[in-house]
Structure 1
Amino acid sequence: MPETAAAAVASRRKFRREGEERRRQDLIEATLDCVAESGLQGATVRAIALRAGVTAGLIRHYFPGKEELLQAAYAATMAHMTEMAKAALAGIGQEPKLRLAAFVEASLVPPVVDLRAISIWASFIGRAASDATLGVAHRAGYLGFRDEVEALVAEVFQAAGRRAGDDDLRRHAIAINAIIDGLWIEGCLAEDMFATGELAAIGIASVEAMLGMKLRNEPAAEVA
């Protein structure tokens, strides 16, 4: 096949693949909209199709059934929150302590702290224990976030010359995840009760106390 023809075929395949990925993402976003507004019970195939502007048959082209679509939607929610926290590391540089502090902070401020996000999360988590497909998505999302925390803690310890075994790193990651989860729930449900950045400051201070080290330098005191 001539090079130009091969390139044209490759371009069409790429366009078709990207188009299908976009339509799949649109269905996931429509599902999340339905869950946010009406809970899992209201996220019917008909409601999702109406929201996405497609037929129910098209949904079945991308997902074997509603449960698989809900699983994909929950997985996307968990992954999105982790990716938003990781995005804060892009402009931080390579200092491990600052990177861990930035990750904790990003997890405890908007857009991660968001009433719609916790509404969706609560709908899914309520069924994750009894629904095997949602349970798989929850476990993967939880471990994905915890693994990010564990890697950041490992970098902090290594830079500080502190030895920590795998069990120690795992326990620290579990504890930090619990700190973030608790403050995240408070912030999502009652954001107006906290000053800007207050929950992030509490989270960072809690992590510092647990690790026994400052993650950020204190501002220099002003000389009178």
Structure 2
Amino acid sequence: MQTERRPYIRDSEENRREALIAATQALVAEGGPQAATVRAIAARAGVTPGLIRHYFGSKDELTRAAYTALVDGMTDKGADALAGVSADPGERLAAFVAASLRPPVVDARAVGLWAGYLHRVQADEGLLAQHERSYLRYRDQLQDLIAALDRGDKGQDRLRREAIACNAVIDGLWLEGSILPHGFAGGELVRIGLASVGAILGLDLTLYATFIPELTDQDRKTAP
């Protein structure tokens, strides 16, 4: 009697790449970059080590791809939030800031993974270049949202400085909120972020935040 054989299913290249990126991120989050060896990555992803070179060319390229997926993924969450709001520039900026200061962007695993990569940035020119591209991608999107506000002609230099300052505030709150989530009340990071970014820009962003579920009616009346 002939044994029935299971059909062979070839996984897509995209799925293989995603599995390798996810495995790399998991290993770095658990044990730092040194834990993400070629053999460990392949074992975690359930593939042979040779597939890393096949899909990424080298382990370094995979490391950069995993870092890009992390930081660009957080930027994408802010962009996704814009789809659910009106065309009002203030509302759109408030939505972008709020999305950057709530889960899943604010997340202990994400900040641990980010920190695991960060110490390698200065020693890896390719990773440094990718870090710069990802930073500018977020900052440029923030600058475009700021530029859309009706505040007169501020000039590109002024807008750039404002975007840098606002980005720094958001980064700091994201870092602390991810590491010490118990140190902030529900919605507090969002309230502080909106108030602080608004203070830099000279407007009250909480006035545009009626759609943000973290802010209760009382919060909106008393937000600093």
TM-score range, shorter chain: 0.7 to 0.9
Aligned partners of 2:146 and 2:159 also within 8 Å = yes
Task: State the one-letter code of the partner of 1:187.
Answer: G
1:90 pairs with one of 74, 78, 83 = 83
Aligned partners of 2:195 and 2:206 also within 8 Å = no
CA distance in 1, matches of 2:42, 2:69: 18
1:84-128 CA-to-partner distances (Å, cap 9, x unmatched) read 111111111101001101111110111100000001100111111
Deviation at 1:217, TM superposition (A): 2.2
User: Percent identity between the aligned chains?
Assistant: 52
Runs (4 or more) in structure 1 with deviation over 3 Å come to 218-221
In structure 2, the partner of 1:201 is 191
Show the 5 A alignment for 1:142-181: 142-156=135-149, 160-181=150-171
Deviation at 1:130, TM superposition (A): 1.6
CA RMSD after TM alignment? 1.6
2:56 pairs with one of 63, 86, 95 = 63
CA distance in 2, matches of 1:125, 1:178: 16
In structure 2, the partner of 1:47 is 40
1:131-155 CA-to-partner distances (Å, cap 9, x unmatched) read 1121011111101100110000001
Task: State the one-letter code of the partner of 2:22.
Answer: E
Deviation at 1:215, TM superposition (A): 2.2
TM-score using structure 1 length: 0.86
1:210 pairs with one of 176, 200, 204 = 200
**Structure 2: segments with no counterpart, 5+ residues:** 1-9, 209-216
CA distance in 2, matches of 1:165, 1:69: 39
Q: Number of residue pairs matched? A: 202
Of Structure 1 and Structure 2, the greater helix share is in 1
Task: State the one-letter code of the partner of 2:105.
Answer: V
CA distance in 2, matches of 1:161, 1:185: 30
